[in-house]
Amino acid sequence: MALSKEKLEPKGRWFFRPFNLLIIWGLLALLLVANGAYEAKRAKDNLYRMLFDEGSALIAGMEKSAQNIVASLSAVEAFPDASIFITPINFWTLDESVVDLILEAAFQIDQELGSLSPGEKEFKKLGAAEHFSGIEVIASGEKFLYSRRPAGSSVNKPKPFYQHLLEGKASYAIERSEKLKTGQMNHLNVAIVRKAGKGILILRADEADIHFFRRRVILQEVIEEWRDKGETKYISFQGEDSEIWADTNPQKIRKKEESVFIQQLFLKADSAIQTERQKSLGILEVAKVVALDKKTRAALRVGLSTERVEQIIAADQRNILLFSLLLLIFGGLGVTVIYRVENRHLARVREMEERIHQSEKLSSLANLAAGVAHEIRNPLNAIGMAIQRLQREFAPAHQEAKSEYNRFTEVLRGEVKRVNEIVEQFLFFTRPASLDLKEVQVGEIVKNISLLAREAAEQQKVILKEEIAPNLPLLKLDRQRLQEALWNLVNNGLQAMPDGGQLGLGARLHSGGEIIIEISDTGQGIPPENLRQIFDYYFTTKEKGIGLGLPLAHKIIKDHGGTIEVLSEAGRGTTFQVSLPGPGEKG
């Protein structure tokens, strides 16, 4: 039952695995991003809806104001005596504004005509478009004329009203006539000396034209009254022919501004009058077709600045982003903490698995070693004794043959000894740790190892470099076993430098109290893919190696309560760092 529980438990913890936690954190991030985008869009829509409502309120107010004033003006024009019952209108001031408006139109038409004198068709088109009953150009004794209806001209007078212009005594002249009963202007003639071309330009307006221009003036006054309210950027009244009747920018008045939005607005107004909107860079335009009277319609356009709205939206987006980032950071920290805890747990599990695997290996090795020791050691001893007897009793008499004989038998003894050492290494891994602990000076062990390695180093042209700190504390160690472990590390370094290099041996006291022993070489280094395997049993990259030297060193150091770390860079060398517990520390 216990084994079954151990197998099922990791599956039950799938939720806390790092990859799954990363997926959960990613889903949380996506959720926060989606929620942030939704909240930002909702806030933006609400703010623009509020701005649209503000524009709609402005349009409703201006529409009511314009309709009331136009209705009053129409009533007074039709029934002058009705002025005592409605809000009085100062016709003198209003007509003066009409005169100024037509005079300004004359200068603009002069610029539009340019240096060429237009024909009859151009005059007719211009007169209809500009709402004038007559337009004349007098230049070099010639007269170019367009007339829609008689306009009360002073043609039969001995001197025309623009005589001073012909004589060069003035730049413009005005002639107006008023109704005797009401004092309302019913005809107006304006003449200017042309600047863009030659001659004189004369504009004639009859009573219908004056009525039209009075309404333009009134619409401009409505705009001036409302232009500073709210977030207003511009206000414009535009006719169905796209001509701008009144605008916060006087330069646009009389010009045509084609707009699909306004054209569609007029088409929609035929079925249902409604307020529409369109957005451009920095502007939200709210527009509505308003009926000024029974026959006259105009598009009332109000442009509202979106700068403040965009600032609020940007601030909201920053706040949402900051809040989302904080949540993501805290979520990430939580995921990291869970990951680290789970990673430690998994590391312990892996370590336990490795230990079990090592134990299984050692168990198998113990059985193998016991069999090897039983089957091989006794024959090896017999072979060794036989070789000694051969050397002692059967050596040739001839000196040269004897030397060759002795050399050959020494090789046999060396190989027997080598096989015996391999058997001993097998047996070491199978035995429980049994150390002969005595107080030992680590520095002396390192010096002894350096002395042992000196001859081999000189043969390989390897430079030995010692850095042993003085007065190192005494440690309770198994001198022979530690020396064996360090020699394996030094031997590994020498084998890594067949063509020479530098071998460093050092010992120092660390600030934490432990003793650090470093053995470094400048050989070829260990490839990254082999670093995790160098302490595995039987792993070797050498042709004649058996893969027990480094595992043996690792086991000895571990039995002393120490650790061993490897730092290696391909092509630059390897450093083994052995850490042994200081005096009084438990390994």
Q: 75-134: per-residue pLDDT in tens?
A: 777 776 655 555 556 767 888 888 998 898 888 888 888 876 666 667 667 766 777 888
| pLDDT beyond 60 at 3 | no
Domain boundary among 381, 412, 431: 431
Range of the domain at 359: 336-431
Q: With 0-12 CB in 10 A as exposed, 13-18 as middle and 19+ as buried, what is 555?
A: buried
Considering the domain architecture, whether residues 392 and 463 belong to the same structural domain is answered as no
Does residue 477 fall inside a structural domain? yes
What pLDDT is stored for residue 152 in this prediction? 44
In-domain check, residue 207: no
| Co-location of 403 and 475 in the same domain | no
Rounded to whole angstroms, how far apart are CA atoms 525 and 527?
Answer: 7
CA dihedral 524, 530, 532, 537 (to 10 degrees): -100
Same domain, 450 and 425: no
**Distance separating alpha carbons of residues 582 and 587, to the nearest angstrom:** 9
Q: Which of 52-66, 310-324, 366-380, 494-508 has the lowest mean pLDDT?
A: 366-380
Last residue of a domain, one of 387, 412, 431: 431
**Angle, to 10 degrees, between the axis of helix 399-430 and the axis of helix 549-559?**
50
Q: Same domain, yes or no, for 418 and 468?
A: no
Residues 185, 208: Cα–Cα separation, whole Å: 11
Is 561 a member of any domain? Answer: yes
Q: Are 283 and 303 in contact (CB under 8 A)?
A: yes
The whole-number pLDDT of residue 350 equals: 82
**Pick the residue with more confidence: 582 or 564?**
564
pLDDT band at 153 (very low <50, low <70, confident <90, very high): very low
Residue 155 has pLDDT above 90, yes or no: no
Residue 573: Cβ within 10 Å count: 22
Contact status, residue 516 vs residue 542, Cβ threshold 8 Å: no
pLDDT bin (cut points 50, 70, 90) of residue 534 is confident
Instruction: Let me know if residue 359 belongs to a domain.
Output: yes
* pLDDT score, position 235: 92
Same domain, 480 and 547: yes
> Would you place residue 2 in the very low, low, confident or very high pLDDT band (cuts 50, 70, 90)?
very low
**Type of residue numbered 147:** S
Is-contact 268 274, C-beta < 8 A? yes
Is there a single domain that holds both residue 415 and residue 349? yes
pLDDT above 80 for 287: yes
Segment 221-232, tens digit of pLDDT: 888 888 888 888
Q: Report residue 12's pLDDT band, with 50, 70 and 90 as the boundaries.
A: very low
Task: Give domain status of residue 576, yes or no.
Answer: yes
Residues 491 and 415 placed together within one structural domain of the fold: no
* Predicted confidence (pLDDT) at residue 182 exceeds the cutoff of 90: no
Q: Is residue 374 part of a domain?
A: yes
Q: Residue 461 sits in a domain of what CATH number? A: 3.30.565.10
The whole-number average pLDDT for the span 310-319 is 85
Whether residues 408 and 444 fall in one domain: no
> How many residues belong to the chain?
587
Q: What is the mean pLDDT of residues 458-480?
A: 88
Does the pLDDT at position 549 exceed 50? yes
- Three-state DSSP state, 337: helix
More confident residue, 170 or 320: 170
Mean pLDDT of the chain: 80
**Of residues 576 and 378, more confidently modeled:** 576
Q: Are 196 and 111 in contact (CB under 8 A)?
A: yes
Interval 204-229 mean pLDDT: 87
Q: At residue 445, does pLDDT exceed 70?
A: yes
- Between 549-559 and 479-495, two packed helices, what is the crossing angle to 10 degrees? 150
| Overall number of domains in the chain | 2
Question: Which of the residue ranges 245-254, 388-397, 519-528 would you say has the lowest mean pLDDT?
Answer: 388-397
Would residue 426 count as lying in a domain? yes
Instruction: Looking at the structure, tell me whether residues 481 and 365 fall in a common domain.
Output: no
Last residue of one domain, picked from the residues 393, 414, 431 = 431
Nearest to 162 by CA among 188, 192, 134: 192
Confidence (pLDDT) at 190? 93
d(CA 415, CA 427): 18
As a whole-number percent, the residues of the chain with pLDDT over 70 amount to: 82
Calculate the CA dihedral of residues 184, 251, 165, 145 and round it to 10 degrees: -80
- Whether 189 has a pLDDT exceeding 90, the answer reads yes
* 409 and 497, same domain (yes or no): no
The predicted structure's pLDDT at residue 16: 56
Are 558 and 492 in a shared domain?
yes
DSSP for 115-158? TSPP-HHHHHHHHHHHT-SEEEEEETTEEEEEESS-----TTSS
- In our burial notation (b when 16+ CB lie closer than 10 A, e otherwise), range 376-405 reads eeeebeebeeebeebbeeeeeeeeeeeeeb
Q: Is residue 277 part of a domain?
A: no
Residue 15 clears pLDDT 60, i.e. is over it: no
Amino acid letter, 529:
E
The predicted-structure confidence for 315-340, as pLDDT tens digits, reads as follows 888 888 888 888 878 877 877 787 77
User: Left (φ > 0), alpha (ψ -120 to 50) or beta: where does 501 sit?
Assistant: left
- Claim to verify: residue 495 and residue 390 sit in the same structural domain: no
